Each structure stands twice: as C-alpha cells, then as structure tokens.
Amino acid sequence: MKLLAVGLAVFAMALASMTYTRFGGRIACLWLANSITVAAMLRSPPRRWVWLLLVTTLGNAAAKVVAGSQVPLSFGTSFASSLEALICAALTLRWCGPAIDISRPRHLAIFSAVGVLLATPVSAIAGSAIIWVARGTPVLEGLASWWRIDALGLLIGGPMLLALTPEAMRELWGSVRTGRGALSAGLLALALVLTCSHTRYPLAFLVPPALILLAFELNVAGAAVALAISALVMVGYQLARIREEAAPPWDAADRLFLLQVFLAVMTAMVLPVATALASRRRLESQLREALSEAQAASVAKGDFLANMSHEIRTPLTAIIGFSGLLESTPDLPAQAELYVERISRSGRALLSIVNDILDFSRMEAGQVTLAPRAIDPEILARETLDLVAEQAAAKGLDLRLETSGRPGFVEADGERLQQVLLNLVTNAVKFTPRGSVTVRLERDGERLRLAVTDTGVGVPQAVRQRLFERFWQVDNSSTRLHGGTGLGLAICKSLVELMGGEIGVEGREGEGSTFWFVVPAPAAQPAPAPDEAEDIDGLEVGSAHILVVDDVAANRELVRAMLAALGHSLVEAEGGAEAVEAAARERFDVILMDMQMPGMDGLAATRAIRSASPLNAATPILALSANVLPAQVAHCLEAGMDDHLAKPIAPLELLQKIAQWSRARSSAAPSGQAA
C-alpha cells in the first residue's frame, strides 16, 4: 500500500511539474518528483529500494506519457531520474547513516552536496543523451537544463520531505498556532504577494528575510515547507505572467533562468540558517538536560553524603563518647589508657574526614555562609596552636607564634578563619619530621595575613599549582607516608576565597614550606565579655529534669553517663510516640530529641509536643542528631526545636546547652514559649 502511495505521489508531482511549470515544449523548470523518490528511499530499509525504484519509475513514465511524451523517451528519462534517486539515497545513507536528520548541518550539507554535485550530474548526462538520441536536442543545452532543474528540485523538495516527520509536523502545527508563528507565516505571505505583484520581481529581496524569520519560529520543517511553497508560488506566477504577456522564448528563458538562480540562492541561504538554529536549539536542550541531570546528581550526592554522614556519626557517637568517658576513669592500667587513647584518636580522625567531605560538599553547593564578628586574631592563633600542641610535642616539634605588634580586634568569621589556620598547622605538623612550625600573624590596614612556616619536606615547584585542587596530593602512591582525603587545602582555598582573600604556598623542596593566606579584616570593637552566669559552672547541680529521646540505646546510655554525674535527672524514650506520651505525663526542663527514628521521627514528635502537650509546650527542645547539614538544622528549627547539637556529642557543649536552656526554662513564665 505504501509502495502504491509513493508511486501515485511521484506520478502526480511529475504530471503537475510538466503541466504547470513547463514552457514552450521545454522540460519543466522545477522538478520535485525525484525528491519524493529519494525521501521514500531514505525512510525505508535498503531491501525495499528495488520496489520503490520500480513503482516510482513507472509513475514518472506514466506522467510523461499522459503529458504527451513518447513512451520510449518517457521510460528512458524516467530511468535517468531513478538513477539520480538511487545515487543520492545510497551515498547519503553511507555518509549520514540510517538515522538521517536534515536538521543537522552536517546531514544537510552531505545531502545537498551529493544531490547537486554527484547524483544530478550523472542523471543529467544520461537524460540529455537520451533526449539527444530521441529529439536531437544539443547535449550541452539539455545537460545544463536537466542538472539545474533537478538540483533545484532536490534542494527544495528533499529537505522538506525529510524534515516532515510526524513529530516535526506536530511541533510545526503547535508553532503555527502560536502568535509569533502565525505572524511570521503572515509576513512571508505578505512578502510573496508584494513580490508577485511585479513582473520582474523587483521586491524579491523581501522573501529571504521573511523565510529566515520564519525559520526562527518554525524550525527546519517549517522553513523547508515555506521554501517549497514560496518556490511553487513564484514559479507558477512567473509562468502565468509569461503566458499572459506572450513573452518571446528567449525572454521567457532568461526570466525562468534568473528565477531558478534566485530560488537556488534563497535555498542556500535559508536552509543552513534553519539547520544552524535547530542545532543551537538542540544544544540548548542538551544543556538543559545536562543541567537537570547535574542538579539531580548533586541532589543525589547530597542525599548520599547526608545519609552516610548520619550512619557514620551514629556509631562514632558511641565510640568517641564512651572512649572519652573511659579516658576519665581513674586507676586505669597504663596499657588500657594507651588503647583507649588510640581508639579516641582514631574516632576523632574519622570524624574529621566526615566533616571535611561534608564541608566540601556544602561549598560546592554554595551552602556555606560567613558569620563575621569581632575577634582577636592573636588569641585565635594561640588557641589553634594549643589544639595541635600535643601532636607536635609527640614529634618533638617547636610551635611558635610571631606577631608584628598587637593586631587588635578585627571583624571576621573566627570559626572559618580558625578552620583554615588549623588545617595549615595540622598539615605542617604532619609533614615536618623535626624542627619547628611557626605561625606569623600580620595586619596591614584592613587585611590580615597569616603564614604557617615549617622545616619539613617542602613542596616541589612543579606541583604547587595543583596543591589546592580537590582530592589531589603530592604523593598519591600506595606507599606514601601520610594519609588524608586530599580535601583539606581545597577547603582552605574555598573558604579563603569566600572571605574575599587569597591563599598560596612558597618554599623549596627539602627546605620546608610556607603556606599563607590573606583575608579582609577591618578593625572592630571588642565584643562584651560573657556574663558569669552563662558559665557552665554556674549551673546548679541536679536542677534539670531532662527527657532524652533516641532510638539507639547506646546514645541514651551515653547521655545519661554524661549528665547523671552532674546530678541531672533523666527520663528516656525510644521513639517519637513514646516521647509525646512522656511529655503529656510530666514536665521537663529540657528535651533532647533525635531526628531520625522509626515510626514517629523527631520533627513530628516536636510538633505534637508543641501543639498538644500543655506541660511541655514551652519546654526547650534541643535536636541531638547526626543530621548536621544546614538544611537539616533548618528543618529542626522550623518544626519548633530551639537549638541543635551535632553527633558525636561534645560533652562540654552538651553541658553548656543544658545550662543555657534550663535557665531559659526556669526564667520563663509557665505558659511562655522558650526563646
């Protein structure tokens, strides 16, 4: 059925071309029948090409016979046309592949080159020779006319038929129905009317811009259809004027030749523009898809890191917490003290790795914000050195702090500043086998410069530029002396740049190195001294009645061990529902609430207590959770929690929070909401 439809289409198009575009007994001036054959072949498997060529040859020959041509001549020229279609389809398939897409510039270029430079010259030679034998028409004249007409037909009809896929037709119809699509089609119609209102087409220059504008709105399919319609309208109108004016043959030939040249140039202008626009739209679509995939991957990565952080922090809470309690146990054997200290150190090292990964993930997502406040950089530097003093002493290293005068108070994010400095000092201690590590602190106007100089192994000149890249280390071999994630310096660089500063490294291999960074730090007034009442020692022992909610028994046991020694009374709940029941029975001073629990989670339990527990509607609820990402902390506060403590639990921070919020509870009115 499809073969019959193709044959009838070729018959109808060939008959129309000879009936309406032929003048003075000459061959037609626009031949679109071959483009139907080529398009049908490229849309069909090669095994069906023989049948397609057979039915299209018969359709072509039948049309010529009906139009008055002799039977032998009709079949001879139809064979030449079929040869043209075969060459064009075969070479296009070879160089473009089976999935030809005329909206791709490369595919359009191949199709056009094959049709104009290879297929039509071969058929023109064969066809003009057949016509010369049958009619005696000069070969060169017939060859030029045949090549010009067939090439123009392939350039105009081929892209249109190849572009009109079902999907493209639906898209084209949708575009035409839009205001801009209809407007561009209307402008083309107006340009054609103005052009055809004059015999010699003095306003023909209006048509190409209208076609290009239409290509912007209706894609390649719309541009190809509009181009074919424009060609048919202009050729048909010109032939009608020639017949009406009874123009002499030489004048008619010149006018038709110029029109063919104009159509060829217009085709060469419009179709490449349309395919370039389609290629750009395709790239934009791919970019949008890639962006969507990248965002989805980023979300998946964030979810994965959040889950892994939670799952790692949960056992780390018990490891670090109980090893810390064990370290403080009196009369522990020396060997046991050593083992406990190693367990505690390994737990803290693992926690540092988890924190580095989360920090880097937050920086990549742009979720790190600064909290500038008045700080004393000299005190900050000394506190940082104190944190690594034990590690340095174990290696026999001398830690020094050098300052050029008293820097005074500055406005900066002390936590992030210390994070960068601590990372640099820790690295210096790690890579320095003997000698010293010196921190130099300088303030120049409103900029603060900190430099960490060591007497260690140094950094080779060739690798300095890569030191601050993520996951990169000077020695990545399996035999390296020092471990690490390779994220520390990348995090430092990101933080320093976030603060508006710069970071770098100096030194020679084998002679130590100096890592430095400079950040803006305007002068600031000292912050008020903290109230003595806020100190942890000011908390009356045993004054807090605390509800601890956690589905992990070890975590509840750890909190009890930390707080019971100070006289606090505790009630335990294994889940959210049990916590809501406990809050309905008795009044608490503080509630410590885990977030992730089976059944009712901490967020739902908090909302239930706030809304349905008169005794504890205003009780401070502190999240005690391994969920530490900013968004997760925000969810806690949105649910009605008052504060957040991260797991693993820091004993001093826990005690300070208990002191702070139990005072807030005792100072608030019974019906008031905790701050």
Model pLDDT for residues 546-583, shown as the tens digit of each residue: 999 999 999 899 899 888 878 888 999 999 999 999 99
Average pLDDT over residues 605-632: 89
pLDDT for residue 53 is more than 50: yes
Q: What is the pLDDT of residues 85-138, one digit of tens each?
A: 999 999 999 999 988 888 888 998 999 999 999 999 999 999 999 988 888 778
- The CA distance from 302 to 291, in Å, is 16
Are residues 262 and 393 part of one domain?
Answer: no
Selection from 415, 450, 447, 414 nearest residue 522 by Cα: 447
Percent of the chain with pLDDT over 70: 91
Note whether residue 533 is domain-resident: no
- Cβ neighbour number for residue 237 with a 10 Å cutoff: 17
How far apart, in whole angstroms, are the C-alpha atoms of residue 527 and residue 542?
Answer: 32
Do 570 and 609 share a domain, yes or no? yes
In this structure, the answer to whether residues 339 and 447 fall within a common structural domain is no
Query: How high is the pLDDT of residue 306?
Result: 76
CA dist 583 and 605 (Å) reads 10
pLDDT range class, residue 532, cuts 50, 70, 90: very low
- The secondary structure element, H or E, covering residue 549 is strand 545-549
CATH number of the domain bearing residue 394: 3.30.565.10
Q: Kindly indicate the confidence band of residue 223, based on its pLDDT and cuts at 50, 70 and 90.
A: confident
Position 334 in a domain: yes
d(CA 306, CA 630): 11
Do 149 and 17 fall into the same domain?
Answer: yes
Q: What is the pLDDT of residue 485?
A: 56
Cα separations (Å) of 602 from 71, 121, 311, 545, 569? 91, 80, 17, 19, 21
Task: Give the 3-state secondary structure of 463-511.
Answer: HHHHCCCCCCCCCCCCCCCCCCCCCHHHHHHHHHHHCCCEEEEEECCCC
Residues 352 and 415 in one domain: no
Domain span holding position 647: 541-667
Is the domain of 227 the same as that of 146? no
Q: 514 and 545 share a domain?
A: no
Tens digits of residue pLDDT in 270-280? 888 888 888 89
Q: How far apart are CA 339 and CA 345, in angstroms?
A: 10
pLDDT band at 249 (very low <50, low <70, confident <90, very high): low
Q: Is the dihedral of CA 536, 541, 543, 548 positive or negative?
A: positive
pLDDT band at 462 (very low <50, low <70, confident <90, very high): low
Residue 527 pLDDT level (bands cut at 50, 70, 90): low
Whether residue 79 is contained in a domain is answered as yes
Q: Is 531's pLDDT higher than 70?
A: no
Task: With beta carbons less than 8 A apart as the criterion, state whether 635 and 603 touch.
Answer: yes
Quick check: is 8 in a domain? yes
In whole angstroms, how large is the CA radius of gyration of the chain?
A: 42
Amino acid at 560: R
- Can you give the length of the chain in residues? 675
Strand 502-507 relative to strand 447-454, pairing: unpaired
Confidence class for position 538, pLDDT limits 50, 70, 90? very low
pLDDT given at position 205: 87
Q: Are residues 508 and 595 in the same domain?
A: no
Q: Domain boundary residue among 120, 153, 186?
A: 153
Q: Is residue 669 scored above 60 in pLDDT? A: no
Give a yes or no: residue 532 inside a domain: no
Cα–Cα separations (whole angstroms), residue 376 to 74, 199, 529:
100, 89, 13
**End of a domain among 267, 283, 299?**
283
What does the mean pLDDT of the chain come to? 84
Least confident piece of the model among 193-197, 235-239, 641-645: 235-239
Shared domain for 615 and 560, answered yes or no, is yes
On whether residue 247 sits in a domain, the answer given is yes
Alpha helices in 328-376, H assignment, sequence order: 334-364
Are 391 and 512 contained in the same domain? yes
- The model scores a pTM over 0.85: no
DSSP letters of 399-435? EEEEESS----EEE-HHHHHHHHHHHHHHHHHT-SSS
Cα separation, 311 vs 552, in Å, equals 12
Q: What is the pLDDT of residue 240?
A: 81
The reply to whether 359 and 377 lie within a common domain is no
pLDDT at 528: 62
At 229-242, the pLDDT tens digits run 888 888 888 888 87
- Checking if the pLDDT of 599 tops 70, the result is yes
Q: What is the band of 250 on the pLDDT scale with cuts at 50, 70, 90?
A: low
**Whole-number Å distance between alpha carbons of 200 and 194:** 12
Same domain assignment for residues 575 and 640: yes
